Amino acid sequence: MSDNLKAYSWKNPIFWILCILLMFIAIGCKSEAENGENIRIAVATFSHETCTFCPRPTTIEDWEFYGPPTRELFDSNRGYIGGFKSMCDEYGGVELVGILSPRGARGGSSGSWITTEAFDKYSNLIVDDLKQAGNLDGVFLSLHGAMAVTGIPKPEAELVRRVRKAAGDIPIMVTLDLHANEDHELSDAADAVFIIKRYPHYDTTLIGERAARVMIKTIRGLYKPTMATRKPGVITPSVYQGTGVSPAMEIMERARRWECQHPDTYVSVAFGFAYADVPDVGATVMVVTNNDQKLADRIADDMSDYIWRRRKTFAGKKLPKTKQGVALAVAAARAGKTPVVIADHSDRTGGSTHILEELIKQGAENFCITTLRDEKAIDEIKANYKVGDSVSIDLGGYSDKFAGNPVRIEGKVEFLGDYARGTVAVLLFGKNNRVILTPQLMQVTTPSIFKPLGIDLDSLDIIVLKSRVHFRRGFYETDLAGAIFEVDAPGWGPADLTTLPYENIPKDIYPVYKKD
C-alpha cells in the first residue's frame, strides 16, 4: 500500500476524522429549509381592538387578569393560528415554535388606550422569547390591527420592527382582523400581511392557512412577497361594515375577483375601527403579489379608488334613535315577528340602560337584555341574595358618560352562578322580562347563552344585544330572528362619526372632515 493510500485506511485516525466531518456536512445540508425539511417557524400573538374613547385604560393587569401569557397556541385547528398550523401540517416538515404571548384582555374592546408600559412589557416578552427560540426560518404574528397605545402611534408596525430586530432577515408575516387600522408602516416592516374578508369573521382559519402557504413557499424560495398599500381616506362605523350587505359585500367581492384573475395574489381590505382615535384610522388596502410590484400597485389603486367611489353609501346610512327604534321593535313583536333582535350597537362599554329604560316605558313584554355589564350589582346580589329571592336594585348607567340613568328593577333572582369568565346573574321582572348581568362587556353572538342560564328562548319576544354585526352569525344567518333593528342609542360607538371628539385622525378623512 502506498503512503497516499494509507490516509484512507480504516486504521488511520485521519480516515475517521474525515468520516465524522462528512457526517456533519450531510446533517447540516439536510436541515436546510431549501431542501423542504425541518422548517422552523415561530408563532406569536398580541391582539387588541382599542376603543380610545372608552373611559378605562388597558393596563398590564388586564392581560394577567384574563389569563397569563402562554406558549400554548396550538390547541385548536380553528382561528388564525389554527389555520396556520393545519396548513403547516399539510405541507409537512414544519416545526412550529410557540412564543410566549398575551391572550385577549379583560373587557375586550371596551378597553381604552393601552399604557406604554403594557405594550412594552408584552412586546418585550415576545421578543425575549424569540431570542431564546434557536434558529428560525420565519415568524408568524397573529395580530388584530386596531391596537392603540399611548405614545406609540402605530403599535403593530412597531411590534414588527422589534421582532425584526430580534429575528433578523427572515420572512415575517402578519394576519389582521377586518377592523385593523394600519398603513404602509406595517407593510414596510413585515414581508406579507393578510386580512380576513368577512364580517362576521368566518374566515380567520382560511387566512391563517394562506399566511402559512405563502410563508412556506417564501422560505423554500418559491415566492417573493411584494406588497402595495393604500389608504382610501374613508372611515365607517362598524355597524355598516357587515359583509352580507352592500357596499361592504361588493368591495370584498372585487378583492376576490382580483385574486381569481391573478393566482398567487392576495388582496386584502381592512374596513378599520372608527372608535380608535389614531393617525392610521380607516380603510386600508393591502395587496401581496409574487414579485410583481406593478400588479400590486395596479390592484391596490383600483381597490382604493373603488372604496372612495362607494364612500357615500358606505358611511352615510341613517339608523333610528332609541325611542323610535324601540317603538319599531315593540310593534314588530306585537305583529308576531318574534324574536325581534335589537342591536344596541353603540354601547362599547356594556352598561348602557337607554334601551332597557325605553322598553319599560313603552310597556314591552317578554324581553331579555342580553347583556348588561354591572359588576357592582353582581357583587351586591352575591352578598345579599340567593336564587329565588325577591330583589330591588338599581342597574347600570355608570360604565361611561353616555351609559344613561341607573334603572330600578323590582323582581327576583332567577340565576346566580359562573358563566364564561365570571359570575353572572339573571333577574326576572315585569311581564316575563329579564336582564342578564355580566361583570364585563359581553358581546353575545349566538343564542347558546340562554339555555345554561335557564332561559327559554321560545318565551322571548325581544332580545337586546350589545353587538354591531357579529350577532348576525347566530341570530340572522340561522334565520332565528323574526326582525332586526339596529338602534342608535347614545354611546361611544355611534353610527354618526362626526359626533366623536377625534384629535389624531387625518384632517381630510371622509366623512368626519371631508364632506363630499
Q: Any residues with CB less than 8 A from the CB of 334 and at least 6 apart, and which?
A: none
Give 177 or 488: the residue with its C-beta nearer to Zn ion.
177
Give 179 or 213: the residue with its C-beta nearer to Zn ion.
179
Handedness of CA 458, 460, 466, 469 (dihedral sign): positive
Q: Any residues with CB less than 8 A from the CB of 26 and at least 6 apart, and which?
A: none
Residue 130 CB, nearest approach to Zn ion (Å): 26
Q: Supply the DSSP string of 264-291, one letter for each residue.
A: T-EEEEE---TTS--TT-S-EEEEEEES
Q: Within 441-500, which residues bind Zn ion (CB under 5 A)?
A: none
Give 270 or 483: the residue with its C-beta nearer to Zn ion.
270
Q: Going residue by residue from 61 to 100, which x/- string records binding to Zn ion, judged by CB under 5 A?
A: ----------------------------------------
Separation between Cα atoms, residue 372 and residue 435, nearest integer Å: 7
Residue 200 CB, nearest approach to Zn ion (Å): 9
Q: How far is CA 406 from CA 350, 388, 395, in A?
A: 13, 23, 5
Give 145 or 491: the residue with its C-beta nearer to Zn ion.
145
Residue 80 CB, nearest approach to Zn ion (Å): 12
Q: Segment near Zn ion (CB under 5 A), from 1-9, 51-59, 173-181, 304-312?
A: 173-181
Residue 299 CB, nearest approach to Zn ion (Å): 23
3 state SS of 37: coil
Give the length of the chain: 516
Residue 337 CB, nearest approach to Zn ion (Å): 29
Separation between Cα atoms, residue 155 and residue 146, nearest integer Å: 9
Q: How many residues bind Zn ion, per CB under 5 A? A: 2
Q: Segment near Zn ion (CB under 5 A), from 94-102, 120-128, 175-183, 259-267?
A: 175-183
Give 115 or 443: the residue with its C-beta nearer to Zn ion.
443
Whether the upstream peptide bond of residue 339 has omega within 30° of 0, thus cis, is yes
Separation between Cα atoms, residue 251 and residue 306, nearest integer Å: 8
Residue 366 CB, nearest approach to Zn ion (Å): 31
Instruction: Return left, alpha or beta for 108; rule: phi > 0 is left, psi -120 to 50 is alpha, else beta.
Output: left
DSSP state of 510: B
Separation between Cα atoms, residue 58 and residue 50, nearest integer Å: 8
Of 140, 126, 134, 135, nearest in space to 215 by CA: 140
Residue 248 CB, nearest approach to Zn ion (Å): 12
Q: Within 145-164, which residues bind Zn ion (CB under 5 A)?
A: none
Give 130 or 269: the residue with its C-beta nearer to Zn ion.
269
Q: Segment near Zn ion (CB under 5 A), from 170-178, 242-250, 290-298, 393-401?
A: 170-178
Give 183 or 357: the residue with its C-beta nearer to Zn ion.
183
Q: Within 177-236, which residues bind Zn ion (CB under 5 A)?
A: 177, 179
Q: How many CA atoms lie within 13 A of 258 on its CB side?
A: 25
Give 191 or 203: the residue with its C-beta nearer to Zn ion.
203
Residue 146 CB, nearest approach to Zn ion (Å): 8
Closest residue to Zn ion using C-beta atoms: 179
Where on the chain is the footprint of Zn ion (CB under 5 A)? Answer: 177, 179
